[in-house]
Amino acid sequence: MPGKTTAHTRKILILDTTLRDGEQAPLCSMNPGEKLEVARKLEKLGVDVIEAGFPASSPGDLESVRGIAAIIKDCTVAGLCRALEKDIDAGWAALKKAYHPRLHVFIATSPIHMKWKLKMTRDEVLKQAVSAVLYAKKYCNDVEFSAEDAFRSDPDFVCMVFGEAIKAGALTVCFPDTVGYALPDEFGKRISYIRKNTPGIERVKLSVHCHNDLGLAVANSLSAITAGADQVECTINGIGERAGNASLEEIIMAIKVRKNVLNIETRINTTQIHSTSRLVSQVTGIKVQPNKPIVGENAFVHEAGIHQHGVIAKRETYEIMTPESVGISKNQMVVGKHSGRHAFEERLKWLGFNVDNDTLEKIFIEFKLLADKKKIVNDRDIEALARGASATVPETWNLDHWAVNTGSALGATGTIRLKYKDGKSKKLVSLGDGPIDAIYKAINQIIGKEPELELYEIGAITGGSSSQGETMVRIRWEDRYYNGHGVSTDVIESSIKAYLSAINAMEWELAAFKKVKK
Ligand code: KIV
Ligand code: ZN
């Protein structure tokens, strides 16, 4: 759904693969509720295509792509499929209810992949690519074809496969640098070559998909855009296999800040970038490095006196883009307990949350309680409240009360009362090496499971001693990982909330598995 372009401005499509290639990365898995939340946010961000998953990879992935396809209206929703009929069947089962479905079919074309992975000849690969596109076309008009490891493939062979895929009906052909091997200049030249030598390419979109093994994924994507690529495939925070994929926020801001040179436009609403990055970081438990461009904590912080002085005198001395342009608002809403509901609702909307009346009421009550504890409630606080209230994972266990006793000489004691989904409460007291250990042990005894705590991180949402504490945890149970996130003015409470949200994600999945087995 490309928007309007001016006479000299070219429109580039953004395919976001955070939920597919991003989610494939070690420890980046998300539960179906989290994926849905991320998909909604990507729609608000304005990506053109959401690659929602790899439906044939597991029944869970198929279901979660189906769930996303059912609710996303403003973007195309794509599912990845190997060039196999059974994958394409699963892809279509997941996508058939989508408003704008796309089947994304791929097969490798490089000598090393064909020989060692596929054990196929060139002719066999060509034949399978064509029959997969033809098969996908029976279901869906919008078919993308990717030549996996295209950069390490014979360029003329890629042109031939692309040409045949186009004849078979592919509307987009994608040229991935699967192992992140290319250098920007040669990648751009290769894209020009493909453009010039692929029969029928003028009728379809040419996409690129770059990995970051040499830290060049963004540079290669930009080079490809300059050489005529129509679509780039990328992920939020650059998450993805190994060193990750090209980072969406870096590509987008390069396009925006250097419009004078690139003359490119996208549909992205850049003010949604920061909150999208935080959401992905929270649901995956993968923190963004502080010096990461655009979304790192330090990306807009000026430490050196000489820089501070310059920025105060004239912002552009050391800033090439404004924090506001990526959604960091200087104009934090200074709200307190006397602030009105209307102003609060407006702020929520500005932050990208369009909630129904019941949810608004719930968040507003919590906001008033928070405003009683804190002098200033800022955007990060409001965002945390809104996320908590619109959580998509059902609460098997709900926090009722807690207390801890701790000191320097003795161990700690944790007391907790949890409410089960049937409304019944359970209370337990446990000893531990510290308050968190004690309270987590008490929770484990109540739920009757002892998941491994793989990650526990605590920080402050904003600066200052009145900031809310934010905790991220990752637990492991039967070789599956579950992330949890909790926020509170009390760090122990935020730790309990985070642990319980991971436990609830685990209980939800275990219950879903039980249903599938029956
Ligand atoms: O990196 C890659 O080649 C891919 C394709 C399957 C598009 O992710
Ligand atoms: Zn990839």
**Tens digit of each residue's pLDDT (9 = 90 or more) over 442-463:** 999 999 999 999 999 998 876 6
Answer yes or no: is the C-beta of 17 below 6 A from any ligand 1 atom. Answer: no
In ligand 1, the atom with minimum distance to the C-alpha of 106 is: 6
What spatial distance separates the first Cα and last Cα of the chain, rounded to whole Å? Answer: 42
Could you read off the pLDDT of 199-240 as tens digits, one per residue? 999 999 999 999 999 999 999 999 999 999 999 999 999 999
Answer yes or no: is the C-beta of 265 below 6 A from any ligand 1 atom. Answer: no
Could you read off the pLDDT of 23-59 as tens digits, one per residue? 988 778 888 888 999 999 999 999 999 999 999 999 8
What pLDDT, on a 0 to 100 scale, did the predictor assign at position 1?
42
What pLDDT, on a 0 to 100 scale, did the predictor assign at position 326?
95
Task: Give dist(CA 145, CA 133) in Å, integer.
Answer: 7
What pLDDT, on a 0 to 100 scale, did the predictor assign at position 510?
85
Residue 89: both structure tokens together: 């069947």
Percent of the chain whose predicted confidence (pLDDT) is above 70 = 94
What pLDDT, on a 0 to 100 scale, did the predictor assign at position 2?
40
Residue 3 predicted with pLDDT over 50 = no
Q: Which ligand number lies closest to the CA of residue 148?
A: 1
Could you read off the pLDDT of 292-337 as tens digits, one per residue? 999 998 898 876 777 777 777 778 888 899 999 999 876 555 566 6
Task: Measure the CA angle with vertex 329, ends 231 and 31; round to 5°.
Answer: 55
Confidence of residue 417 (pLDDT cuts 50, 70, 90): very high
**For ligand 1, atom 8: residue with the closest CA:** 21
**What is the SS3 assignment for 105?**
strand
Q: Which residues of 475-497 are buried (b: 16+ CB within 10 A; e: fewer)?
A: bbbeeebbbbbbbbbebbbbbbb
- The CA-based diameter of the chain, rounded to the nearest angstrom, is 77
Residue 386 predicted with pLDDT over 90 = no
Ligand 1 centroid to residue 178 C-alpha, Å:
6
pTM equals 0.87
**174: CB partners within 8 A, 6+ apart:** 104, 106, 144, 145, 146, 147, 150, 206, 207, 208, 209, 231, 233
Residue 517 predicted with pLDDT over 60 = no
* Structural contact between residues 398 and 423, judged by C-beta atoms closer than 8 angstroms: no
Task: Give dist(CA 97, CA 52) in Å, integer.
Answer: 14
Residue 338 predicted with pLDDT over 70 = no
Could you read off the pLDDT of 459-492 as tens digits, one per residue? 887 666 667 888 999 999 988 888 888 888 899 9
What pLDDT, on a 0 to 100 scale, did the predictor assign at position 333?
55
What pLDDT, on a 0 to 100 scale, did the predictor assign at position 463?
63
Ligand 1 centroid to residue 145 C-alpha, Å:
10
Ligand 2 centroid to residue 141 C-alpha, Å:
23
**For ligand 1, atom 2: residue with the closest CA:** 178
What pLDDT, on a 0 to 100 scale, did the predictor assign at position 60?
87
